[in-house]
Amino acid sequence: MKKTHSFHIPVMGIGFTIDTPLKVAQYGMDSVISLVDDILLEKLRKMYSEKFDIPYQEITEKIDDFRAKRITSYLNLLSDLAEKKFEDLKQMTSKKGDELLAYIQMLPDNSNLKADFKKLTSKGFSFSEIKTWASQNLVMGAIDVNIMTKVDKDNYKKGEKLPVEYNDAHAALRGFAKSKLNSSVVLSAGMNPRLYSYMGQFNDFFPDENGNIKKRIILKVSDFRSALIQGKFLAKKGLWVSEYRIESGLNCGGHAFATDGYLLGPVLEEFKTKREELQEAIQAVLNQELLNQNRMVPKQPLSIEITAQGGVGTEEEHSFLLEHYDLDSVGWGSPFLLVPEATTVDEKTLDKLTKAKENDLYLSDISPLGVPFNNLRNNTKDIEKQRLIDKNRPGSSCPKKFVAMDKEFKETGICTASREYQYLKIKALEKQDLTQEAYNKEIDKITTKSCTCVGLGTSALLKYNLDTKVEGDGVSICPGPNMAYYSKVMSLQNITDHIYGRTNVITRKDRPNLFLKELQIYMDFLNNKFEEAKTSMGRKEGKYFKVFINNMKSGVDYYQNLFNEVTTSFNDAKGTILNELEKTKTVLNQFQRELEAIPVKV
């Protein structure tokens, strides 16, 4: 299906895009909701039901399968409300056509729709003509959902472990599968074979004879090999991946899944050159499995889309990614946090984001999932965490338990950011014979974990004046490094004008090119890892660094060729970029020499 816009709004945190489709879908913009927090979804369903006079019946925890049912109900409500807004826009019942004009104005200038509309309205026209044209041509944006595949906690009832389909990610998937949505689920954070197999229980994920799929699969990946492995695995279940969404390993918001030194440019290049190979290899596996299951085999080969996201910040970068790598869409995340018409961010956090500079945005260890996490310094959740540490009562009360998955002390699982876990961990630490310095270091590692599964949703509660008695007022937020270059609150028109080059909202002149920025972040990451490992370098670590450095060097070579060959883009910054690439190569060679000189501990 032809997209209305060449950008999409990725999932952000737990609550920041929780109702984004209701704000932007009527303008043809695709966006993604997180399905982590069913408690938050239920609160918002109640709020929107009251606002639009829709009968509401609470889905309490006493109801069987309440998590999946809450998710289905929220998604159905959002679908109905977004459809209504879109219909009103097409019928021009809202503000006498202002919304329709806003839809047209925000389109890219090279849009055929925009040209058609200008042609239609340039001569005399009637409102009925415009209504007919709008009904036939305008497309609503997708209401997509995100499931972090590994956030799949076991659940218990009266002390008894429930079957695997009641696990968190499984229940979320079921909630989406049973909804009326015709959209996609974005699977992120790596492979979960049990969850992938479970998808095969829902007919909406399978193609019909014309190749239409009601519930499509988007895989978030950071390299080609991972896409091929996961795509084939799903095809063996009869499931097709409609889109491969490539995300920069480190130059993105939220959890940062660092690759082994694979940089975004070379990864996109590999997808571009092997796109057909990927499609054909997986199609063959899929067709065979559909026959095995006695299901409909589509008459025509199914299509795949390739999209990318992570650190894009200018129209020049946006256009380059689309054109040079033949992408179908580019994700714009962090800048949208400064657009209240699109995302849900409380005033205090919004203010902190507008003032944030490079040093305020850092890769932290605060996530209980044990994955590096992009963090905003001095966010209110971290201040709350420090207050508890100062009182000698570290850790959260853990009211929601969505990531209570560590089984070191308890079979049912505890969250590493919880007071219970940190108390037990510190007690165990006290029995070890550690120096004061080593002890302090370990204590920091334990207490740095923050209650993000609550903190990432609280902003929505504060924004809508909903009860935060259980959650508290602390907000965690996870913008990407790109946030440093945006310093004012924007309207939806402002940000779309910026994306399409009609205006420029970045006032700073020192923003590095997105490829260069990612390279710098990877160099910092490598440096930190290297310093940590120097004193106890084993064979495994030595091999890891060798592969990492070689991949980085290949990436730098690729960029040197790219920027030397490209004639129509990045001309103003080309000299600086090539100079930085040369410097980086020198540093990587130093790393290599140092690595070779370190004695490996067997």
- Residue 438 domain-assigned? yes
Q: Which helix (H) or strand (E) holds 160?
A: strand 160-161
Q: Are 86 and 140 in contact (CB under 8 A)?
A: yes
User: Which of 116, 133, 100, 130 is closest to 27 using CA atoms?
Assistant: 100
Over range 13-29, report the average pLDDT. Answer: 98
Q: Which of 54-63, 244-253, 565-574 has the lowest mean pLDDT?
A: 565-574
Range of the domain at 49: 7-338
Last residue of a domain, one of 305, 338, 371: 338
467 and 533 co-located in one domain? no
Question: Which amino acid is it at 453?
Answer: C
65 and 189 co-located in one domain? yes
Q: What does the pLDDT read at residue 52?
A: 97
Output the 3-class SS for 183-210. Answer: EEEEEECCCCHHHHHHHCCCHHHCCCCC
Please name the residue ranges forming H helices in 94-218.
98-106, 112-122, 127-137, 168-177, 193-199
Helices (H) and strands (E) in the chain, counts: 20, 12
562 and 459 co-located in one domain? no
N residues, the chain: 602
Axis crossing angle, helix 264-292 with helix 514-533, rounded to the nearest 10: 90
Residue 202's pLDDT band (boundaries 50, 70, 90)?
Answer: very high
End-to-end alpha-carbon separation of the chain, Å? 56
Q: Are 334 and 483 in contact (CB under 8 A)?
A: yes
Total-model pTM: 0.96
CA distance 309 to 1: 20
373-376 and 361-364 strand pairing: antiparallel
297 and 426 co-located in one domain? no
Q: What does the pLDDT read at residue 127?
A: 84
472 and 586 co-located in one domain? no
- Residue 488 domain-assigned? no
304 and 444 co-located in one domain? no
- Residue 507 domain-assigned? no
Q: Are 486 and 361 in contact (CB under 8 A)?
A: no
> Considering the chain, what percentage of its residues have pLDDT values greater than 70?
99
436 and 555 co-located in one domain? no
288 and 406 co-located in one domain? no
- Which residues make Cβ contacts (< 8 Å) with residue 235, sequence separation at least 6? 241, 282, 283, 285, 286, 289
- Residue 168 domain-assigned? yes
Last residue of a domain, one of 338, 367, 397: 338
Q: How many CB atoms lie within 10 A of CB 352?
A: 20
Q: What does the pLDDT read at residue 599?
A: 83
- Residue 360 domain-assigned? no
Question: Which amino acid is it at 141?
Answer: G
Q: What is the dihedral of CA 400, 405, 407, 413, to 10 degrees?
A: 30
Last residue of a domain, one of 278, 309, 338: 338
- Residue 363 domain-assigned? no
Question: Which amino acid is it at 56?
Answer: Y
- Using alpha carbons, list the distances in angstroms from residue 400 to 109, 470, 500, 529: 46, 9, 40, 33
463 and 533 co-located in one domain? no
- Total domains present in the chain: 3
Higher local confidence (pLDDT), 2 or 196 = 196
What is the average pLDDT value for the chain, to the nearest integer? 95
111 and 260 co-located in one domain? yes
CA distance 488 to 535: 45
Residue 601's pLDDT band (boundaries 50, 70, 90)?
Answer: confident
Over range 228-234, report the average pLDDT. Answer: 97
333 and 431 co-located in one domain? no
- Residue 352 domain-assigned? no
160 forms beta bridges with: 157
- Residue 489 domain-assigned? no
CATH code, 194: 3.20.20
Q: Are 18 and 9 in contact (CB under 8 A)?
A: no
522 and 577 co-located in one domain? yes
